[in-house]
Amino acid sequence: MKLGGRVSIVTGGGHGIGRAIALRFAEEGAAIVIAGPTAETIESATREIEGLGAGAMAVLTDVSDEASVQGMIAASLSRFGQVDILINNAGIAGPTAAATKVSREDWDRTIAINLTGAFLCAKHALPQMMERRRGRIINITSVAGLHGYALRSPYSSSKWGMIGLTRTLAEEAGHYNITVNAIAPGPVRGPRIDSVIRNRAAELGRPFEDVEREYVEPTALKRMAEEADIAAVAAFLASDEAGNVTGQTIEVSAGYRL
């Protein structure tokens, strides 16, 4: 197994892409810390991972709160003694509105969770990785961090910021044998994208189906990606096979282009 003997924290690991990554990592032999703000979802994911025979722990965490992040890292080290892999997946969609209509509160909350959260988790996971001279950080950004995204300025800005954070941390941590990479999913089939499309359709006053086509037609493969696709790339980046891959943003989008 690619990740045998390793410990991974997956923020936002209770559902969606985060859950898919957590399950794939467990199948590859890793012990998993599921961090998130909702007890029911993270505990459900933890039980599923334990059902695979892997070690698992749920930790209630608000990634935008530094004390909460410090507590999550401390709990992980107390239970497992090490953190080898950090998956910064926690994030929210933010508002769907023109920039002139976005409230400061919605802007601040989106940046705080999506970008500041990734920074805080990396800040507090890195010291023990540096001490052990090994580690992997994988930031889940978005194609919205590679292109403009009308009506989603806080989200897009947070995802652009994650790419800058990825490249900077890769430079800072490289001489400690730590790699830092990002995965940029395109539209990924599931409840999250359905909600995004519904909100966009409502804002534009258009049918759901018409807006949904705009998330599929720009892809080369004419389909959305799957959560398992993101998990597979994350498993590669976390493995020894990707030991010389760092500072990269890998797009997993079925060939999405505007």
Q: pLDDT value at position 198? A: 96
Q: pLDDT value at position 55? A: 98
Q: pLDDT value at position 21? A: 98
Q: pLDDT value at position 130? A: 98
pTM: 0.96
Cite the DSSP H helix spans in the chain. 16-27, 39-51, 66-80, 104-111, 117-132, 153-173, 191-204, 208-216, 227-238
Q: pLDDT value at position 148? A: 87
Q: Name the class of domain 7-188+226-252.
A: alpha beta
Query: What's the CA dihedral at 149, 170, 134, 78 to 10 degrees?
Result: -50
Residue 155 catalytic? Answer: yes
- What is d(CA 90, CA 24) in angstroms, rounded to the nearest whole number? 17
Yes or no: say if 166 and 249 are a contact pair by the CB < 8 Å rule. yes
CA neighbours closer than 13 Å in the CB half-sphere of residue 13: 32
CB count within 10 Å of CB 77 equals: 15
Catalytic residue among 149, 155, 176, 256: 155
Domain boundaries, the chain: 7-188+226-252, 191-224
Q: pLDDT value at position 168? A: 98
- What is d(CA 219, CA 99) in angstroms, rounded to the nearest whole number? 26
User: Considering only CA atoms, which of 215, 218, 216, 228 is closest in space to residue 183?
Assistant: 228
DSSP for 207-221 reads -HHHHHHHHHTTBTT
48-52 long-range contacts (CB < 8 A, ≥24 apart) are 48/19, 48/23, 49/22, 49/23, 52/23, 52/26, 52/27
Spans of the chain below 70 pLDDT: none
CA 165 vs CA 11, 107, 122, 172, 222: distances in Å: 17, 19, 10, 10, 31
DSSP H or E segment with residue 33: strand 31-36
Hey, what are 166's tokens?
A: 């990825």
51 contacts: CB under 8 Å, gap ≥ 6 = none
| Identity at 6, one-letter amino acid code | R
Q: pLDDT value at position 258? A: 72
